[in-house]
Chains A and B, each alone.
Chain A
Amino acid sequence: MAERPKGSAEQGANKPALSLHVPEPTYRPGDPVDFAHITVPDAGKQARPDETCDAIETSDLCYDLVRVLGNDNKAHGPWDPKLDPDTLRTMLGHFAMVRAFDERMFRGQRQGKTSFYMKCTGEEATSISAAMALASDDMVFPSYRQQGILIARGYPLIEMINQIYSNRGDKLKGRQLPIMYSSREHSFFSISGNLATQTPQAVGWAMASAIKGDSRIAATWVGEGSTAEGDFHAACTFATVYNAPVILNVINNQWAISSFSGFAGAERTTFAARALGYGLAGLRIDGNDPLAVYAAEKWAADRARANAGPTLIEHFTYRAEGHSTSDDPSGYRSAQEREEWPLGDPVTRLKNHLIELGEWDEDRQAAMDLKCAEEVKAATKEAEKNGILGHGLHHPFATMFEDVYEDLPWHLKEQSEQAIRERETKFPEGRPGS
């Protein structure tokens, strides 16, 4: 540490001592919860500027909370996307499917069928409703909790499960951590375990689309915690500099494993307000309101498609479950949080809206939930024929050395031969699937 010049300690003696602020969440395990400090504005009260407006015109919306579904279960105001009942039922169907899928895969992990799983409970709207507002060939660069996009895009459940089980049916040859899907066919980019890396990639893809005069846009999802990564800021800079046709979705689910959003700067401002410094359009929306999510994503998609610029959307939501199967939130946050969360649950809210419209009822909901559970169960059984993690039904050993490069170089060829030799020594009789 640099020494103060002689005598300066005395000179500074009358100055107040500096202190470091280390953020602390409001509630820890055992604490009663009061979310009164979260301002929940009335649904329908937020202005909806034209999609082609100047970014600065969205300033107020960066601090507000765009809401459509009110406590009366009705849609309100200028952001109402006015979706027809069939579309709403389709959305609810995707919600039910993701819930059923998460439930089954979570249990599968507990049963030792795979190493890891991540649920998106409470955040379903931020991917499903958003995906439904995009064109099916718009490119998405998701993070790890956007399984809803694949469900909404009709990716086969069995492919998802094969990937989770890393079995011989896994299209990714058992190389990726469970839930890190990839499907070029569904315009779904390969998921990275390093967070926020996909944000500049999405911007680059969108720039490429603009360079080629294409009409497709890109969208990316990043957790509020990882907005602290340099990549996110590079992405915002590139997006604004080149007016890239891209949507930057920030999922503010309040928790980055056990670190609350304060460690990403949430105590000082909103995540949507990050947009302002870059000159991006920004929207802060109720992420548990499926209609608000759909409307905001559609607004941003239309804006990008009209060459009017990129948008940063903060989805204000809540991670109802643990971060992953390796996490236990009861160790760091109040159990009451989930119950008291003031914005409710997206599935319940959409269901109640459809019931309010006279287009749905509890019996049909129960029947749909059951049907989803059965479909997931059937897909699981089918996928299990290809093996589960660690039970030997994996891709052949030589595949470990494929795809490092387009062609196999000499050193990998030598190492591949070594792996095969080792295997033959270990299992002279051979093993199934080897």
Chain B
Amino acid sequence: MIEAINEALDLKMAEDPDIIVMGEDVGYFGGVFRATAGLQEKHGKNRVFDTPISECGIIGAAVGMGAYGLRPVPEIQFADYIYPGLDQLISEAARLRYRSANDYIAPMTVRSPFGGGIFGGQTHSQSPEALFAHVAGLKTVIPATPYDAKGLLIAAIEDNDPVIFFEPKRIYNAPFTGYYDKPVEPWKKHRDSVVPEGKYSIPLGKARIAMEGDALTVLAYGTMVHVTEAVCLEKGIDAEIIDLRTIVPLDIEAIEASVEKTGKCLIVHEATRTAGFGAELSALVTERCFYHLEAPVERVTGFDTPYPHSLEWAYFPGPVRIGEALDKLMSE
């Protein structure tokens, strides 16, 4: 997946001289996760450069660059660090088009690794996507496969609105299935790991059916798509897993179609439960598909605590928690 992200950046930079990659350690070193490896050498220091440790400065400068006419792709090293840049994202980037009535826009794609599962403790594991979904004017994208990562990133960079691109770091190198004590299969054995050369894009706002089925609908994104899929396969549940890909804009049609077909809905995300994006999904499904539902909508999420370091696997919504919810829904 990390190679797919690198390819998308490289390809777009070669095509469009207005694309700038900046962030902490993204230049010579190529990023702590190597997402920007080789880009500076290829596209020059003027277009790929390190920044001071100042998320407010990174996002603020990106707003100015966007207003100039560039298309910056800033990297925030970990999603947990994005908070000092929130004012620039929420009050400035998100609203610039609106408040100026299209006089100015702030096109930018803020890339950031997010989610847990790598023993990152409370400051390297968070999933803050609901914060951004709440902000009018921002789009929030979360890929779950290498194929999608490349196609969605290209679409995000080409989008004229500010996009938050969260990369589930647990699946950068392999499609994690939830068993931390078992070896993981590498991406190359996965069906969605084939990344075509050259350019293709996946429209923002279009979900993907990760697994087809009739028994129930699972709404998930990022790492949770793979974990849920593994549990369903293990339990022999004929679930339909909808990988949302983007939570804003949301593919409501795909959600409605699936829930109307299956009559049951499970929502799975890593972020904390209260006021998480699952709450919004649950409300939408209840409002729009109530008469098709055969059981209450279920949510599997992280707990409402900070992400603990040593107890990470107790926090992570893994096969046991997902399995219980699946069993409950199947028994209704």
User: Which residues in window 376-434 of A have CB below 8 A to B?
Assistant: 403-406, 409-411
Q: Are A405 and B100 in contact (CB under 8 A)?
A: no
Instruction: Please tell me if B141 contacts chain A, counting CB pairs below 8 Å.
Output: no
Q: Give the bracket for the number of chain B residues in contact with chain A.
A: 35 or more
For residue A215, give the distance in angstroms from its CB to the closest CB of chain B. Answer: 13
User: Nearest CB to that of A209 among chain B residues?
Assistant: B68
Instruction: Please tell me if A180 contacts chain B, counting CB pairs below 8 Å.
Output: yes
Residue among A403, A404, A405 having the largest count of chain B Cβ atoms under 10 Å: A405
Partner of A234, one of B56, B70, B250: B56
Give chain A's interface residues, CB within 8 Å of chain B: 139, 141, 171-173, 175-176, 180, 182-184, 189-190, 192-194, 197, 199-209, 211-212, 218, 230-231, 234-235, 237-238, 241, 403-406, 409-411
Residue among B67, B97, B159 having the largest count of chain A Cβ atoms under 10 Å: B67
Q: Are B67 and A199 in contact (CB under 8 A)?
A: no
Whether A207 contacts B47 in the complex (CB less than 8 A), given A230-B56, A411-B250, comes out as no
Residue among B51, B65, B70, B72 having the largest count of chain A Cβ atoms under 10 Å: B65
Q: Are A208 and B103 in contact (CB under 8 A)?
A: no
Q: Are A203 and B101 in contact (CB under 8 A)?
A: no
List residues of chain A with CB within 8 A of the CB of B104: 182, 184, 189-190
Q: Are A199 and B70 in contact (CB under 8 A)?
A: no
Instruction: Please tell me if B279 contacts chain A, counting CB pairs below 8 Å.
Output: no
List residues of chain B with CB within 8 A of the CB of A175: 98-99, 101
Q: Are A190 and B139 in contact (CB under 8 A)?
A: no
Partner of B61, one of A139, A184, A207: A207
List residues of chain B with CB within 8 A of the CB of A190: 96, 99-100, 103-104
Q: Are B61 and A171 in contact (CB under 8 A)?
A: no
Q: Are B69 and A237 in contact (CB under 8 A)?
A: no
User: Nearest CB to that of B68 among chain A residues?
Assistant: A208
Instruction: Please tell me if B154 contacts chain A, counting CB pairs below 8 Å.
Output: no
Instruction: Please tell me if B57 contacts chain A, counting CB pairs below 8 Å.
Output: yes
Q: Are A171 and B101 in contact (CB under 8 A)?
A: yes
Whether A205 contacts B64 in the complex (CB less than 8 A), given A194-B87, A200-B56, comes out as yes
**In the docked arrangement, what's the CA distance between A189 and B61, Å?**
14
Whether A208 contacts B69 in the complex (CB less than 8 A), given A194-B92, A238-B54, comes out as yes
Whether A201 contacts B64 in the complex (CB less than 8 A), given A230-B84, A404-B136, comes out as yes
Q: Are B99 and A180 in contact (CB under 8 A)?
A: yes
User: Nearest CB to that of B93 among chain A residues?
Assistant: A201
> Is chain B's binding surface mostly helix, strand, loop or mixed?
mixed
Q: Are A200 and B61 in contact (CB under 8 A)?
A: yes
**In the docked arrangement, what's the CA distance between A404 and B137, Å?**
5
**In the docked arrangement, what's the CA distance between A238 and B61, Å?**
8
User: Which residues in window 225-280 of B have CB below 8 A to A?
Assistant: 248-250, 252
User: Nearest CB to that of A200 among chain B residues?
Assistant: B60
Instruction: Please tell me if B310 contacts chain A, counting CB pairs below 8 Å.
Output: no
User: Nearest CB to that of B17 among chain A residues?
Assistant: A212
List residues of chain B with CB within 8 A of the CB of A189: 67, 104
Partner of B65, one of A141, A173, A193, A208: A208
Instruction: Please tell me if B205 contacts chain A, counting CB pairs below 8 Å.
Output: yes
User: Which residues in window 63-117 of B have CB below 8 A to A?
Assistant: 63-65, 67-70, 72, 84, 87-88, 91-92, 96-105
Whether A403 contacts B54 in the complex (CB less than 8 A), given A190-B103, A197-B60, comes out as no
**In the docked arrangement, what's the CA distance between A193 and B249, Å?**
27
User: Nearest CB to that of B61 among chain A residues?
Assistant: A204
Q: Are A171 and B103 in contact (CB under 8 A)?
A: yes
Q: Are B103 and A405 in contact (CB under 8 A)?
A: no
For residue A274, give the distance in angstroms from its CB to the closest CB of chain B. Answer: 16
**In the docked arrangement, what's the CA distance between A409 and B87, Å?**
24
User: Nearest CB to that of A213 among chain B residues?
Assistant: B46
For residue A69, give the distance in angstroms from its CB to the closest CB of chain B. Answer: 34
Q: Are A405 and B64 in contact (CB under 8 A)?
A: no
Q: Are A238 and B57 in contact (CB under 8 A)?
A: yes
Whether A184 contacts B103 in the complex (CB less than 8 A), given A194-B87, A406-B97, A411-B250, comes out as yes
List residues of chain A with CB within 8 A of the CB of B61: 200-201, 203-204, 207, 238
Partner of B64, one of A193, A204, A230, A410: A204
Whether A172 contacts B100 in the complex (CB less than 8 A), given A200-B60, A200-B64, comes out as yes
List residues of chain A with CB within 8 A of the CB of B56: 200, 230-231, 234
Instruction: Please tell me if B160 contacts chain A, counting CB pairs below 8 Å.
Output: yes
Q: Are A235 and B99 in contact (CB under 8 A)?
A: no
Partner of B161, one of A208, A231, A234, A406: A406
Interface string of B137-166 (1 = CB under 8 A from A): 101000000000000000000011100000
**In the docked arrangement, what's the CA distance between A206 and B101, Å?**
23
User: Nearest CB to that of A205 among chain B residues?
Assistant: B64
Q: List 13 A-B contacts (CB under 8 A).
A: A189-B67, A190-B103, A201-B60, A201-B92, A204-B64, A208-B20, A208-B65, A208-B68, A211-B20, A218-B64, A230-B56, A404-B97, A404-B98
Q: Are B103 and A231 in contact (CB under 8 A)?
A: no
**In the docked arrangement, what's the CA distance between A403 and B99, Å?**
8
List residues of chain B with CB within 8 A of the CB of A194: 87, 91-92
Instruction: Please tell me if B52 contacts chain A, counting CB pairs below 8 Å.
Output: yes
Instruction: Please tell me if B62 contacts chain A, counting CB pairs below 8 Å.
Output: yes
**In the docked arrangement, what's the CA distance between A409 and B65, Å?**
26
List residues of chain B with CB within 8 A of the CB of A212: 68, 70
Partner of B100, one of A182, A207, A209: A182
User: Nearest CB to that of B98 among chain A residues?
Assistant: A403
Q: Are A182 and B63 in contact (CB under 8 A)?
A: no
Q: Are B205 and A235 in contact (CB under 8 A)?
A: no
